[in-house]
Structure 1
Amino acid sequence: MEYTSGSASWRDVVRRALGGLHRRRPGRRQFGWSSGVPLIALLAGLLFTTTATTAGGTSLREDRRPQLTQLIEDSRSQLAVAEERAAALREQVDQQASIVAGSDQPIADQRARVEANRAAAGFTALAGPGIVVELDDAPRLADLPDGASNDDLVVHQGDVQAVVNALWAGGAEAMSIMDVRVLSTSAVRCVGNTLLLHGGVYSPPFRIAAIGDPTALQQALDDSEGVQLFRDAVTHFQLGYQQTVESELSVPAFDGSTALHHTTVPETAR
């Protein structure tokens, strides 16, 4: 089918519509639906002309996935540049503060206080024994189990959060997800089967590493209801779950933004 536009097509549509509305000769049999045909033709002509004008010679159902992919890649590149600039600025601030601290005792005291808490806050790399947990999507199955859907075959935000919460509860001293250091303010978000963490986008398998007493960490994972539900799904839907003990595990220092948008003072500190 070809779309037409312009005054010629409109004249044809209007002429046919008016011609159909002319009163027929008396005695000639008319059908009830015949009076609606011109109106339908007029509306159809309007629809075709509007569609042709909107399309502009292109397909209205053009696949925009390549454009979205390029948009994501551009955003990642911009984020990487911004992170590099932020790191350079933080380094300049530290250097200037160090210079000032040499002649200003209050600033020197505050810097000493900051340095004493850097490790606990997650701003230094740590190493030690611990546990690594990997969560992965199920392979594509030709026939899904009864009552199952494709949604049952992927790792969800709640699954990752269950492992993270269990490891914190087990006394983890430091933790990383996909080799990115996570803090008490870190948020785990999933979109589809991708993980969003500190501005980065990651695909499964999701690797969670925690430094701490391996025995206590294992027990915390075994006691977690959310982790147990995922393990059950591993059996039913072939999801991936791997848990290994490491005698020497390392997690990087947190290098993201430390800006807080909201905070409260605990009742005990008031």
Structure 2
Amino acid sequence: MNQHLHRAPVAAPPDAAAVPPSGRDGRWWPPRRIARGALAVGLVLALSGLMFTVNARASADGGSRHPQNLAELSQQEAATVERLSSEVDTLRAAVERLTDEQNAAAGLTPEPATAGQLVAGGTVPVTGPGLTVVLDDAPVESRRTDVNPDLLVVHQQDLQSVMNALWAGGAEAMGLMDQRVIATSAFRCVGNVLRLHGRIYSPPYVVQAVGDPVRLRAALAASPAVAGYVRDAGDLGLGWSVQDQTALELPAYSGATELTWADVPDGVDVLPGLPADEETT
């Protein structure tokens, strides 16, 4: 026997008189409710579509701002660092000017920095006699297969040895590549790439030191680490040259000068290379 099943209408609530009929036959049915999960999925899809559209438009409008290879990215970042460094120099000059104005308004007369302090701090350009030292990787065509390739490139410790020897020899100011370096400067070598103050350089690496050329040469000759590099330069073809200069021109330092973790130990010269009486004035 065939039985036809019919869904029984839901009993109307007590206040059904106040609720208008919702069925086609005039009977009352409970209103449908949209599931929370479905609503959340729809919202996520809508937001994803919006983000995709925004990213697509940004890529189309600013394609020139996104380099397509590492070389372009490196050049773009180097240009950005150079621009920001220039802005830092401008802001630092403005801070110094405003500080002087505030001191004058308050009737304060701070003791001016000596010439030696300005030079050692890198706040002024420097011109004078000195040395130019150039270090370079061994030429590719002259490299030997029986030698560890790691010995055929300039390393961070090689540059550090040269610069430390020049400081010990009485260098009053120093530059690495096209930047001024001071006692708090730090650089790193990654492979054969030098990173200094946010900029990237490739060999040959040029170190310039203002000071007595005779004393500077003697300090280089007295350094065991420098002597080891010079020996490898003769045996393996590494680049090495030292030239006297009558008028080196070094720019002012443009990096950060604040110290966060470092303190000067007792008995350490704050301004190496200067007479003791000038350091305390």
Superposition TM-score, scaled by structure 2 size: 0.66
Deviation at 1:182, TM superposition (A): 0.7
Uncovered stretches (5+) of structure 1, i.e. residues with no partner: 1-64
2:130 — aligned with what? Answer: 130
Could you report, residue by residue, the CA deviation over 1:198-222 in whole angstroms, capped at 9, with x for unpaired residues? Answer: 1111111111111111111111111
Count, aligned residues:
202
Instruction: Mark the CA change 1:66 to 1:155 in structure 2 (over 3 Å): closer, same or farther.
Output: farther
Distance across 2 between alignment mates of 1:221 and 1:178: 19
Q: Of the candidates 62, 68, 71, which is equivalent to residue 70 of structure 2?
A: 68
Does structure 1 retain, via aligned residues, the 8 Å contact 2:119–2:173?
no
Distance across 1 between alignment mates of 2:155 and 2:267: 36
3-state SS of the aligned residue for 1:109?
Answer: coil
Does structure 2 retain, via aligned residues, the 8 Å contact 1:231–1:241?
yes
The alignment's C-alpha RMSD in Å is: 2.3
Deviation at 1:164, TM superposition (A): 0.4
Does structure 2 retain, via aligned residues, the 8 Å contact 1:167–1:217?
yes
Percent identity over the alignment? 38
Could you report, residue by residue, the CA deviation over 1:224-270 in whole angstroms, capped at 9, with x for unpaired residues? Answer: 1111111111111111101011122222211222222212253469x
Distance across 2 between alignment mates of 1:263 and 1:142: 44
Uncovered stretches (5+) of structure 2, i.e. residues with no partner: 1-66, 269-281
Does structure 1 retain, via aligned residues, the 8 Å contact 2:120–2:182?
no
1:263 — aligned with what? Answer: 262
Q: Per residue, is there more helix in 1 or in 2?
A: 1
3-state SS of the aligned residue for 1:263?
Answer: coil
Map 1:1-270 onto structure 2 (within 5 A).
67-106=69-108, 108-109=109-110, 112-113=112-113, 117-141=117-141, 144=144, 146=146, 148-267=147-266
Could you report, residue by residue, the CA deviation over 1:102-158 in whole angstroms, capped at 9, with x for unpaired residues? Answer: 22233x315x24887322322111122111100011111366153x02222111111
Distance across 1 between alignment mates of 2:139 and 2:73: 28
Superposition TM-score, scaled by structure 1 size: 0.68
Instruction: Mark the CA change 1:197 to 1:143 in structure 2 (over 3 Å): closer, same or farther.
Output: closer
Does structure 2 retain, via aligned residues, the 8 Å contact 1:161–1:188?
no
